[in-house]
Structure 1
């Protein structure tokens, strides 16, 4: 199956059963969302026996749609000393990425909601051991935050690379939902005449704040990132 063109929700684990009117079936929209969003949450089961418990960890991420994994590669990184790392490699994980776009004020408590875009990726991660792919993945994570930043940095040291684990999760098994607009109220509540609507939310980048030991002006990659965020108004 050509997962680059395949529709989303290809398996029962990623089939949306509730709110199907909000399902996004076009994989290219997932790709655009992954490029736009900033923060992922990794869900993994850790511990042994009765001590088994779920952990959800916030993390930066990077994406290579032409990566070696089915459907492309979602790259995550962490410390090699992290307790969750070994467990993440033993079983499937769930990565969730969400952007909050608005608060929906309805005429009843039942119909209050949020406007959002959200993707869920399920799969068995692999540890990236190849040196060149590790550097490529770490560059993808850094450049996802600030495009072009990786090329301006000194090379990573052996010690830094040895302390950093990189995981790749296939993008093949994924789903996406989104909601936009105002509330969906009952006709009787609309007829009663109360106010309803929504509060749009967007990500705002402030002016860069230099570190106390910083030298020189704000670099171009940082200025460009601030300008891009201001232009999109996300």
Structure 2
């Protein structure tokens, strides 16, 4: 769908599964809880799992101000951020054609330090509400010391692509006659019952933000599995 924003962002393997629409890319980034950030420092490649949050045309990251990763990314080294959502195992009649149904997004480019106080505050709020929407308003905000020890980075979504696989296994024509079960096994991430902190004072129940999010996530998975 649409066209690749650049040659290096173009999906080459199974290009029919590519999707360059921003709506698709945004939806995948917004649903995924964990991103993997790839970069090279001193000739050595690294891939680091990290929390992310998207606001408009940027995806935000954060880390300790003293982190080498944060320092090098802020200096402008090339970076690649990826997220993957696995929706199911695809079981074919042959070993060769086993696969997964998935939605993935790749963002290429350079990170920049977020210096403006308003943008920085919005990003920090987005990180918290990315986990549980509305949580930022329920908790203590960062102290000046905590803010001093944290750097926020942003990557533009200018060079981004998505890749999606859905549906049944695709077997060789002769294999459809085999007496082997084939199909898909859905995989989901579902919220469980909130477990209180061992040091939580008596009489404090989960907030509406927590319970509403858990119920909404459960409904979404039920709808997706239907």
* TMscore range, shorter length: over 0.9
- What corresponds to 2:176 in structure 1? 190
Q: 1:34 aligns with which of 29, 50, 74?
A: 29
Q: C-alpha displacement at 1:8, in angstroms?
A: 5.7
Counterparts of 1:105 and 1:114 in 2: how far apart (Å)? 8
Residue of structure 1 equivalent to 2:58: 73
Offset of residue 25 of structure 1: 3.0
Which stretches of structure 1, 4 residues or longer, exceed 3 Å deviation after superposition? none
Gaps of at least 5 residues in structure 2 are: none
Q: Aligned residue for 2:55?
A: 64
Aligned length: 219
Say if 1:7 and 1:152 are closer, same or farther in 2 by CA, change over 3 A: farther
Contact preservation (8 Å) 1:97, 1:118 = yes
Q: Give me the TM-score of the superposition, normalised by structure 1.
A: 0.89
TM-score norm. by structure 2 comes to 0.92
What displacement does 1:76 show? 0.6
Question: Which 5+ residue runs of structure 1 have no aligned equivalent?
Answer: 1-5, 66-71
Match of 2:208 among 215, 220, 226: 220
Query: CA offsets, 1:132-174, max 9 Å, x none?
Result: 2111101111111100111112221111001111100001110
* Cα displacement (A) at 1:9: 2.5
Query: 1: CA distance between counterparts of 2:114 and 2:101?
Result: 35
- 1:37, CA displacement in angstroms? 1.7
- Counterpart of 1:19 in structure 2 is 14
Question: Using the alignment, how far apart are the partners of 2:70 and 2:38 within structure 1?
Answer: 11
Asked whether the equivalents of residues 84 and 102 of structure 2 are also in contact (C-alpha less than 8 Å), the reply is yes
* Match among 66, 82, 102 for residue 96 of structure 1: 82
> What is the root-mean-square deviation in Å for CA atoms of aligned residues?
1.5
- Structure 2 counterpart of 1:140: 126
- Quote the Cα distance in structure 1 between the aligned partners of 2:136 and 2:3: 31
